Structure 1
Amino acid sequence: MPSLSSHVLDTTLGKPAVGMPLTLKTPDGQCVEGITNADGRCNEWQGIRLTTGTYTLQFNTGDYLRSHHGSAFYPHADITFCIETDEHYHIPLLISPFGYSTYRGS
């Protein structure tokens, strides 16, 4: 069965983004909430079983950016990706007040 994790790093502060809410939308339209831990990671998606298909992981960056940097140009960052095989998928997000980037991690 596939697994999914994420890691959010605040590149301006050089620290993990702690307490950021995330929403995972499954191919069949279910949504499950998560939140980054003290290391900026999230790997718990209660109530769903990951299967092949297209998912969207929404990083709700607005409150985090406003509280740590005073403003939030991006209120959220949506990353859409495909699960195609039975392996681990890792979606990192690097954020700053005025930009973000992502890649397929390991």
Structure 2
Amino acid sequence: MSTDPTSTDTTASVSTHILDTSVGRPAADVAVRLAARDGRDADWRPLGGSATDADGRCKDLPALPEGTTHVRLDFEVEAYFEKKQADAQQDAPANRDSGTSGVFFPEVAITFAVTPGEHYHVPLLLNPFGYSVYRGS
């Protein structure tokens, strides 16, 4: 059973954070959208979103509706990397094979199954040319 006060026996809860592994620091100001569905064949319902804070965390994602079985987190990383590139005034290889914006992955979408009453912390480890996720604690 989760210790999250917003979680009940009939709903799951979600949190996330982003670490930019290319610099070993949290990724701040990344927009994150949350969607849910109540079965694998159901339509996705947008629930809203948030943005990462200075520690790379989203502490105020919307609550999941009762009956949620699948969750999707959409991370809008393009603006983060464009700002990072502009701040660092980097050149190749950061712009190599990345299209017109200089960003290879403009967004990252993570879909996962949930069980009522559980809390899911889903960290995103991010760099300009790759990412990974895992179920955290």
TM-score, reference length from structure 1 = 0.89
CA distance in 2 between counterparts of 1:69 and 1:13 reads: 12
Question: Is 1:49 aligned to residue 49 of structure 2?
Answer: no
Letter in 2 for 1:63: A
Percent identical residues: 39
Bigger shift: residues 4-13 or 67-76: 67-76
Name which of 28, 52, 60 aligns with 1:18. 28
In structure 2, stretches of 5+ residues that fail to align are: 1-7, 38-43, 87-101
Question: Is 1:86 aligned to residue 117 of structure 2?
Answer: yes
Give the corresponding residue for 2:75. 59
* Closer/same/farther in 2, CA of residues 13 and 86 from structure 1, 3 Å limit: same
CA distance in 2 between counterparts of 1:16 and 1:41 reads: 8
Bigger shift: residues 76-85 or 48-57: 48-57
Name which of 4, 10, 25 aligns with 2:14. 4
Offset of residue 50 of structure 1: 4.1
CA distance in 1 between counterparts of 2:129 and 2:14 reads: 26
CA-based RMSD: 1.5
Classify the secondary structure of the residue corresponding to 1:26: strand
Higher strand share: 1
How many residue pairs align between the two structures? Answer: 105
In structure 1, stretches of 5+ residues that fail to align are: none
TM-score, reference length from structure 2 = 0.70
CA distance in 2 between counterparts of 1:38 and 1:67 reads: 15
Query: Structure 2 matches for 1:63-74, cutoff 5 A?
Result: 63-69=79-85, 71-74=102-105
Letter in 1 for 2:108: A
CA distance in 1 between counterparts of 2:118 and 2:13 reads: 6
